[in-house]
């Protein structure tokens, strides 16, 4: 039987030897091809009265999960613009998306409707700060 410290050294060596994954997408690609469509799918489902059948609930779950994981991508090394507001804004996105996912799992239209404002606010908050050319500082997304 090998000593526990030897096993720990092997595991640590393997972890240290791994290089961090290189991003595949640019920030613009993440926003245009992943985050914006997923958030739009969720908001459209809400504003249309919620999913009508199992297929629509499943599509909503996928969009919510994609959006929640996108928050992790936004905070990955090399993408996070700063460790303050950027991280907080990504957390707002993750929390709203997690709420949408939980509502979709439960097929709870009322809980899903409650996600609209926090989801919209997460986008508005970030864009006002980091993309004022895309999203105006005054007003909202109405």
pLDDT at 97: 97
Confidence of residue 81 (pLDDT cuts 50, 70, 90): confident
Find the mean pLDDT for residues 15-41.
82
Neighbours of 110 (CB within 10 A): 9
pLDDT tens for each residue of 84-97: 888 999 999 999 99
Rounded CA-CA distance 88/84 in Å is: 6
Q: What is residue 3's predicted lDDT score, i.e. its pLDDT?
A: 56
Q: What does the pLDDT read at residue 26?
A: 86
CATH of 25-130, one of 1.10.3430, 1.20.120, 3.40.190, 1.10.10: 1.20.120
pTM of the model: 0.78
* Sequence spans of domains, the chain: 25-130
For residue 37, what pLDDT is reported?
96
Q: Which pLDDT tens digit goes with each residue over 54-66? A: 999 999 999 999 9
Q: With bands split at pLDDT 50, 70 and 90, how would you rate the model's confidence at 83?
A: confident
Taking alpha carbons only, the member of 99, 112, 116, 106 closest to residue 50 is: 112
Helix, strand, coil share (%) of the chain residues, nearest 5: 70, 0, 30
């Amino acid at each position: 039987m090998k000593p526990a410290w030897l096993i720990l050294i092997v595991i640590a060596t393997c972890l240290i030897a791994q290089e961090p994954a290189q991003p595949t997408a640019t920030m613009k690609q993440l926003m245009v091809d992943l985050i914006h469509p997923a958030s739009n799918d969720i908001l459209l489902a809400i504003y249309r009265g919620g999913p009508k059948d199992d297929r629509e609930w499943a599509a909503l779950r996928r969009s919510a999960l994609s959006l929640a994981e996108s928050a992790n991508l936004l905070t990955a090394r090399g993408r996070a613009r700063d460790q303050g507001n950027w991280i907080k804004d990504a957390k707002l996105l993750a929390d709203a998306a997690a709420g949408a996912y939980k509502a979709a799992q439960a097929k709870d239209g009322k809980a899903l409707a409650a996600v609209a404002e926090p989801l919209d606010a997460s986008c508005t908050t970030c864009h006002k700060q980091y993309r004022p050319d895309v999203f105006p500082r005054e007003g909202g997304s109405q």
